[in-house]
Structure 1
Amino acid sequence: MFGRVKPLDAILATAEKKSLHRSLGPVQLTLLGVGAIIGTGIFVLTAEAAQKAGPGMMWSFVIAGFVCAVAALCYSELASMVPVSGSAYTYTYAVMGEVLAWMVGWALILEYAVAASAVCVGWSGYFVGLLRDYVGITIPDAFANGPFAGGLLNLPALVIGLLVTWLLMIGTSESAKVNAALVAIKVAALSLFVFATAKYLNNGPNFTPFTPNGWGIIGVGGAAASIFFAYVGFDAVSTAAEETKNPQRNVPIGLIGSLAICTVFYLLVAGGAIGAIGAQPVTGPGGEVLAPGSVELANQCAALAKAGHEPLSCSKEALAHVLKEIGWTKLGGVIGLAAGMALPSVILMMLFGQTRIFFVMARDGLLPEKLATIHPKWKTPHIVTGITGVFVAVAAAFLPVGKLADISNSGTLFAFFMVAIAVLVLRKTEPNRKRPFRTPLIWITAPLAIIGTVSLYFLLPFDAKMVLPVWGVLGLAIYYGYSRSRSHVGRGLVEVHEADSDVPHSSVPPLPGVDVD
């Protein structure tokens, strides 16, 4: 099981060829992390967290941020040692062998694809609100929501998923400047939200009871497992280790600094939302707790809306809704517009990351190389992009954002769990290998990352937990039925291409500063 390891020296030889210039300092790294982390989660999942934890979602942000911090420190050591790739798949291949690397790569495919679907649904909520409030067009509920939210299908989510897929297939590119502007818009919008709601932070009655559902799966712990989605993206810092001056010092500053800033930001946003309009969970007719993303919750929200009341837990455009409720209608529209502008580029990055994982696995022989075929005119991996995009769009059309985020989190948590184990294994097997960045207090930090990721996984809803093992069994069947016999490492073809670690041969460049959460 652990016999097929891609030689670390071969991977590092590729890294030496790249010779990237070390130019990033702690401030640049921290800002890079802030831009990468703040995204879909805070714009969309605030309502999901409110339904699970009520005002206690503030603790959920702290818990999720801490687990990300210890996982990030483990991630950084491997990123500095194996700077050829920013993927946990390559790290695992170099340390623990092909089978576990396949499982990590397979989980990352789940993570990227489902996360892209979640962003599509999140974008749809803001888009529908903008059309209704500023254009006067109301999309019927049947076509603005999937079956779990009381509709037939989420048409805007389906359309944006297919549109972004088409753009990726034909090779339409976006410039780094445009994407940097989108990051600035996103951060500015959240700053305006904090400014508008700051006076409500001491509105005590809206914070009581603080943990109405306790600390379990439908409570603070479950909200932390869901809100984890709002932090993913910090790997943008750890994968920049090769381009960082004094990485031993600056990488942890960038990681912990960006996570700390984002946690404070999130707490201010959550506190402002809670103080302004309250965040108590919506309960059923008998006072029972209703699960987020359930038909029962959708029906109860519809009944409340008819009565002229829409709690935070029911909103599809949570932050814009809060501002509209407290009289900042125009600013609420600005928040909605900011989300509408920024989120499609996130979908693009998720789909783009998906093609990167497919490319590496196909080039290693673990997936059919036909999947990575380049279109002669568009110069993009059109087949794998098209297949992935259709899957993403269909999932977005029928599943609610909370369920999609939870499923994506299950894949991400597994990948981070494997990275924490890989760091410990490599410390034992190759203690003398050069490490530009060393995880501090490794025998405390890595076990905390392992315990944290496992705990959050088990706090996910049952159906989200079950997706990962079912997906894993399917992956193992493909591996032993197809991939194992065609593996390049298994056949002795140990060649590591620089293109394995970089962007696939596509005319779409990487988009610096765009979040992936």
Structure 2
Amino acid sequence: MPPSAPRIKSPQRLIAESGADLEGHGLKRTMGLFQLVCFGIGAIVGTGIFVGLSDSVAEAGPAVVVSFVLAAITCVFTAFSFAELGSAIPVSGSSYSFAYASLGERVAFLVGWCLLLEYGVSVSAVAVGWSQYLNELLDSLVGWQLPAALSAGPADGGVVNLPAVVVILLAATLLVRGVRESARATAAMAVLKIAILVIFCAVGFSAFRDGNLSPFAGHGVAGITAGASVAFFSYIGFDAITTAGEEVRNPRRTIPLAILICIGVATLLYGAVALSAIGALGGDAVAGKPAALSLVVDQVTGSAVGGGIIAFGAVVAIASVVLAVMYGQTRILMSMSRDGLVPGVFERVSPKSATPVANTWIVAAVFAVPAAFSSLDAVVGLTTIGTLAIMAVVNIAVMVLRRRDPELPRSFRVPLYPLSPVLGVGFCCYLIWGTGWTTWVQFAVFLAVGALVYALYGRRNSRLGQEEAVGAGSGPAAPPLTRTGDGAAVAARPGG
């Protein structure tokens, strides 16, 4: 292979290396369709609707319902692509592995780098939102809140956000205990938060007033687009379903079905919640308000009890997002570690719990820091644009693999191909435009740093690159590669 050609790892090799048709590197297949759907709902429904709704309303006004639909359409086209690739390549690497199999190692590394935004940084953002609703819950229960110095970062007038750190550590503790335990907790929390949102809709629609929807699109098309870019944060996480590829029973059937069910449920919930909230109080009363859903219920019922129930649902809902998204981040790093692109510690699986323990605690420690000291607004835009870029790549990957490997088994195929993935790319680019130029600059800098990390570490330590070097070596044969205890590839010593 010429040095300039991209390093591509075939889907068949990705599946073989992960053991996805059997057991993946010590991971156990314990999740069925119901558990996977609950995991997906756990990853999606949380901060975006409980905390971010007010920001979307501030941009679009009552037309935020259209913004949610526009964001959902973007997700649906990309969900089709994720479903096809998840059925064809059922491994833990998700979009990172899909890019590796289609566009090559450099693009795959940058996708993995962007996944640090979608999964890692969003954990910090979600944890900050959890802290806001925890204070709302404490206020409704005992009439007392944590002092601002201990419940908000410096950007929000505090010193350190301890609740945000605590929820990350609690999620890590549950994750290292085992996937079965985490799946059960996520399922219970998913059912509870759906029930809470349905109750909210019932309360909101009981006070619905047509006049509260006028003017419907006072901020125009630009407002709807900006609102959709903000609302998109509410859908982030559905692709985490594909990170469970090595821990799901019958993944080729279960993964596509779970993705489509989760997108459908989330879209119906978001549209109903947004419509009932604005219909009850009006756009101006909801826009920019923290803990907006509790505020709506308090105003409609004239009591703090209902708001307390919503706050409790939000605390549970957002905690489940932290759990599910942290799970996704650890599995992405595990896949990258197998390929040598990040240190070997991230692929070690505990034989006792069948989970990547060190990986999980490292992720928790790293992302607890921004959760403790940053604000939610500081990372939402960057997380959104990073996720949209990943989704554009996934849509492209579907088209590339259809041409390169048409015989690859696919239990689900994108409908209306190639129109669907082309529209998926188009909608992603449209929402990226809506994030604004400051976010573009931040993202460009972030990508540049990622490219530098790949050049200095990833490319040099790539196991695929080491194999190519051995195969293309001239003169005396290069020593064969062997595996150390942590799975790292090293050169064998002469004579053994």
**Percent identity of paired positions between Structure 1 and Structure 2:** 37
Indicate the residue corresponding to 2:466 in structure 1. 491
CA contact (8 A) 1:36 1:233 kept: yes
User: What is the number of residues matched between the two proteins?
Assistant: 461
Amino acid at match of 1:78: L
When normalised by structure 2's length, the TM-score is 0.82
Residue 87 (structure 2) pairs with residue 80 (structure 1)? yes
Indicate the residue corresponding to 2:416 in structure 1. 441
CA contact (8 A) 1:22 1:244 kept: no
CA contact (8 A) 2:42 2:321 kept: no
Map 1:381-420 to 2 at 5 A.
384-420=359-395
Indicate the residue corresponding to 2:199 in structure 1. 192
Amino acid at match of 1:420: N
Residue 388 of structure 1: CA displacement?
3.3
Indicate the residue corresponding to 1:347 in structure 2. 322
Match of 1:456 among 426, 431, 437: 431
Indicate the residue corresponding to 1:509 in structure 2. none
User: Higher relative CO (CA 8 A, sep ≥ 6), structure 1 or 2?
Assistant: 1
Indicate the residue corresponding to 1:264 in structure 2. 268
Query: Which whole-Å CA distance do the structure 1 matches of 2:35 and 2:167 have between them?
Result: 32
Amino acid at match of 2:66: W
Indicate the residue corresponding to 1:45 in structure 2. 52
Amino acid at match of 1:489: L
Query: Which whole-Å CA distance do the structure 1 matches of 2:347 and 2:251 have between them?
Result: 35
Residue 420 of structure 1: CA displacement?
0.5
Residue 228 of structure 1: CA displacement?
1.1
Residue 452 (structure 2) pairs with residue 477 (structure 1)? yes
Match of 1:335 among 290, 310, 313: 310
Residue 99 of structure 1: CA displacement?
0.6
Instruction: Give secondary structure in 2 for the equivalent of 1:440.
Output: coil
Residue 156 (structure 2) pairs with residue 182 (structure 1)? no
Residue 112 (structure 2) pairs with residue 105 (structure 1)? yes
**What 5-or-longer segments of structure 1 have no aligned partner?**
281-310, 501-517
Instruction: Give secondary structure in 2 for the equivalent of 1:3.
Output: coil
Residue 179 of structure 1: CA displacement?
2.6
Residue 370 of structure 1: CA displacement?
4.2
Residue 26 (structure 2) pairs with residue 17 (structure 1)? no
Map 1:94-493 to 2 at 5 A.
94-162=101-169, 164-165=171-172, 174-201=181-208, 203-216=209-222, 219-235=223-239, 243=249, 247=253, 255-280=259-284, 311-326=285-300, 327-370=302-345, 384-492=359-467
Residue 156 of structure 1: CA displacement?
2.9
CA contact (8 A) 2:127 2:164 kept: yes
Instruction: Give secondary structure in 1 for the equivalent of 2:384.
Output: helix
**What 5-or-longer segments of structure 2 have no aligned partner?**
472-480, 487-496
Query: Which whole-Å CA distance do the structure 2 matches of 1:151 and 1:209 have between them?
Result: 37
Query: Which whole-Å CA distance do the structure 1 matches of 2:205 and 2:315 have between them?
Result: 24
CA contact (8 A) 2:43 2:322 kept: no
Query: Which whole-Å CA distance do the structure 1 matches of 2:118 and 2:102 have between them?
Result: 22
Give the RMSD, CA atoms, in angstroms: 3.5
Query: Which whole-Å CA distance do the structure 1 matches of 2:193 and 2:353 have between them?
Result: 31
* 1:423–1:373 distance in 2 versus 1, CA, 3 Å: closer
Amino acid at match of 1:91: F
Instruction: Give secondary structure in 1 for the equivalent of 2:287.
Output: helix
Amino acid at match of 2:389: F
Residue 379 of structure 1: CA displacement?
8.6
Amino acid at match of 2:141: Y
Cα displacement string for residues 392-425 of structure 1 (whole angstroms, at most 9, x for unaligned residues): 2232234332442322222211111111001111
Amino acid at match of 1:4: R
Residue 12 (structure 2) pairs with residue 5 (structure 1)? no
* 1:245–1:367 distance in 2 versus 1, CA, 3 Å: closer
Residue 129 of structure 1: CA displacement?
1.2
Query: Which whole-Å CA distance do the structure 1 matches of 2:58 and 2:129 have between them?
Result: 16
Residue 42 of structure 1: CA displacement?
1.2
